[in-house]
Amino acid sequence: LPLGVAICSLTVAEVHDMPRHRFASALVAVLAGLACGVHAHAQLVDPEVADGGLNPFALDNPPMLLDTEHTGCGKACRARLLAEQGWQPGMLLPGMRSERELRGPGTTDPTDVLNNTLSIEVNPPNRPISGSNTMTIRSNVNNLTSFTFRLRSNMTVNTGGTANGVFVTDSLGSYTAIASTPPTNNTSYGRTITFARPISAGQTFTIRIDYSGSPANLSFGSFYAGPQNGTTGAPGAICTLSEPYYAGTWWPCKDGDVLQAGDNSDKATLTISITSPDTFRSTANGLLVGTSVPSAGKITYTYATSYPMTTYLVSFSTSQYTNFTDTYVYPGGTMPLDFNIYPSSDTTSNRNAWRSVKSMLAAFRGVYGEYPFISEKYGIYQFEFSGGQEHQTNTGQGRGATFDEGVTAHELGHQWWGDNVTCKTFADIWLNEGFATYSEALWAERKPGSTGLAALRTAMNSRKPATFTESVYCTDVANVNRIFSTDASYRKGGWVLHQLRHVVGDSTFFAILAAYRNTYQGSAAATADFTSIASQVAGQNLDWFFNPWVFGIGAPSYAYGWENATIDGQKYVRLSIEQTQQASNPTWPLFPMPIDVRVNTASSSPIVVVENDAVKTYHLIPLSESAVSIVLDGSDWILNRAKDAVAYEPGPAKVVSISPAPGAALATAPSSVRIAFSDNVNVTAGAIGVSRVVGTATSSVPFTLSYDPQTFVATLSFASSLSAGTYNIAIADSVYNVAAGSTNGALDGELSSNSIAALPSGNGRAGGSLAFSFSVNTPPCVADFNQDGSRTIDDVFIYINAWFANDPRADINNDGTRTIDDIFVFINLWFAGC
């Protein structure tokens, strides 16, 4: 055996290819309650109502107004370039794919919003807004008779001066339809219009909705109107944050209903125009198409994006900003970076924190592929919600005096994971937040001057969940705090990716991300979509990994023990590992994981990977010299709650050596077989079977067994040398390690292959018979003419008969002719023995 580096029983690749059938019944119980997306028990509560209607950002004092900077040309030039290419809202340029195309057949969504053209007017810090959204929509079904958009009950729809009027234009003309009124308790934002005539599949129509009102600011975000940084007397600001349910608080749109899991896969392009007093500057998604002066003292900023965007990412902010720009240079060209910061926050360190996106874009390009919205921009602007919000192409960063790299990396990471590929429902939110959290760690690993894996490890260790009571998969989408659970969706979600990376290896992990992006970019993915892609790319069903980690709760706790041993002349470490978490948390699952074990000897520290896929597993690690210490998962690749060193606990017997070797093809016939066990066993002849196979005939081969309890060696002796044939030998797992008893000590005998490399035997778990074979290919005994296994006088008579019968086999000297010489040669061979 290769010393020090072999796994007790299996190689890494083999371990990972093994099917995982074993899941703790506890996991089954947990999963039984978790049918994806089921939240029928969820009580619909408007978050504003739930919070007593408090508005944490209420404003009483009007702001001071300051002038803002002019607009640079870079973005406008890019917008013009797009226009010159003939781009119109809703159009897909080469390389873009519609979400409809991605979603494929079988969809049940009757409509596909292609574009929103949203115009609003604001006057910070005053809360009221007025505006209009024109939606370009394609019907996916025949006989489409109605359409529902979301706009909260406190807002007024008044298109063309008609109360609740909506202006519909289809292929036959235009008319006004009347929208229903949503309930005033805001359990639903849905407003439904019924068409004057049905719309058939493939037809495109538009709906214009004029609206006005004072948008609510709900507990988690939605719409802020007040002074900058909430500071009395500071300049006014209006900004938005719509994730998960709040787009309909400030603009009419197609969206999932409030407090429902939703479906984020209908993405649309956007043109957004914001009109305000000309002392303000507005920033929004996409490229600045231009500014205009609608009337004296006012300015309109118009932005457009040609990348389809999910509803909750549509955003704008209007305030007094200092604008500064930079350029991201990438292999294919350049892209503008656009920053809008409050003058009071415009410090060198804040600018540097934001400018670090230049390096981050390059770092993420290396692991995720190029920035998804490379034809437009990446921007960061200051807004009034804490933390950050990954608005597509234009991230808002929250209140406070300082901005930091962590948030900046997180929100930039979202541009790939959350924006380009969006969580399909809010039950799948970890596909946004876990990925963005891991993006923070990847930045730590890959930033210029980083210590690499050491920095990655530090970053992940500082992002361990504090609690383990919730699953990564969100099971209560009516609770916004649960959706955005730091421990479950962010931290543990990030750890799912970190662990997956180590389970499948770096190249496979990043190939999984690439395939995931390639499949779902411009659309949305559910958890099963990601896990399915991961399994496909990894070439193995990874449910054994995702089920406990994504759908289960908790994390493993380990107790491990070890001891040195010399068995049959070879040094080993015996290692026992137990997952102990279920003792105090019976609903937590088992976490089958490959574990890195570092074995420190006097002169080396090899790392071996053992497969810990049962409550207790036992491993036998061959070494060239004795172990001094053992470190379990020394690089912290596994999110665990404890790693306790305990005394080694005797476990199942394994087989450490076999002679003749499994798979051997022997030219010299043996007369015995030697089998060395790892421990003193209770082996008896009755537990061992030997059979010989010749052609289709199988026969039992008698043997006598001797066993030495000092050396643990069993010897099977045969009456004579074995005849030619294939020999199958099996040892039942009724054989057990006497020190561990018949259950825990039962032979761990599985061989991953019929070869010496598969030793020591076993999969780490007690039980499992051993089976191997070798063949004896000794030249046939010519004198045993009837090949019955023994040379008798019968063979002489049979040969003579064959000679007289002119049988070709009678040409015993192989000279091509049957002569009298052949009889003399045969008789000589017969007397010689063969």
Instruction: List interacting residues with Zn ion (CB under 5 A).
Output: 433, 436
CB of 243: closest distance to Zn ion in angstroms? 9
**Whole-number Å distance between alpha carbons of 235 and 124:** 8
For residue 704, what is the enclosing H or E element?
Answer: strand 704-708
Residue 436 or 441: the one with the smaller Cβ distance to Zn ion is 436
* CB of residue 11 to Zn ion, shortest distance in Å: 39
Which residue's CB is nearer to Zn ion, number 166 or number 314? 314
> Residue 407 has which token pair?
């948030």
Nearer to Zn ion, 263 or 433 (CB): 433
Rounded to the nearest angstrom, the gap between the alpha carbon of residue 489 and the centroid of all alpha carbons in its chain is 13
Of 459 and 559, which CB lies nearer to Zn ion in the complex structure?
459
The DSSP-derived string for 483-522 is HT-IIIIIIIHHHHHHHHHHHH-HHHHHHHHHHHHHHHTT
Report the DSSP beta bridge partners of residue 599: 630
Judge contact between 705 and 683, C-beta under 8 A. Answer: yes
Q: State the nearest-atom distance from the C-beta of 431 to Zn ion, in Å.
A: 11
Judged by beta carbon, residue 376 or residue 433, the one nearer Zn ion is: 433
Closest approach of Zn ion to the CB of residue 494, in Å = 11
Residues, the chain: 834
**Distance separating alpha carbons of residues 310 and 263, to the nearest angstrom:** 9
Of the candidates 748, 774, 749, the residue with the CA atom closest to the CA atom of residue 661: 774
Cβ atoms of 774 and 662 closer than 8 Å: yes
Q: How far is the CB of 390 from Zn ion (least distance, A)?
A: 6
Q: Kindly tell me which of 417 and 736 has the beta carbon lying closer to Zn ion.
A: 417
Pair 648, 561: CB distance under 8 Å: yes
Q: Which is nearer to Zn ion, 244 or 762 (CB)?
A: 244
- Closest alpha carbon to 242 in 227, 228, 226, 256: 256
Q: What angle do CA 675, 679, 682 make, to 5 degrees?
A: 75
State the nearest-atom distance from the C-beta of 473 to Zn ion, in Å.
17
Smallest gap from residue 413 Cβ to Zn ion (A): 8
Separation in Å, CA 73 to CA 107, 304, 380, 708:
42, 15, 18, 88
Nearer Cβ to Zn ion (486/672): 486
- CA distance linking residue 702 with residue 706, whole number of Å: 14
Euclidean distance between CA atoms 30 and 219, whole angstroms: 31
Q: Which is nearer to Zn ion, 394 or 547 (CB)?
A: 394
Shortest approach of Zn ion to residue 310 CB, angstroms? Answer: 14
**Residue 179 C-beta: closest distance to Zn ion, Å:** 33
CA atoms within 13 A on the CB side of 766: 20
- In angstroms, what CA-CA distances link 293 with 70, 78, 154, 321, 497? 14, 21, 30, 19, 49
The identity of residue 410, as a single letter, is: H
Measured from each CB, the residue nearest to Zn ion is 436
- Contact of 567 with 676, CB cutoff 8 Å: yes
| Minimum distance from residue 410 beta carbon to Zn ion (Å) | 5
- Toward Zn ion, which CB reaches closer, 353 or 681? 353
Q: Which two tokens stand for residue 313?
A: 């990412």
Q: Min. distance of Cβ 224 from Zn ion in angstroms?
A: 19
Residue 161 CB contacts under 8 Å (≥ 6 apart), including other chains: none
Closest to Zn ion by CB, 433 vs 795, is 433
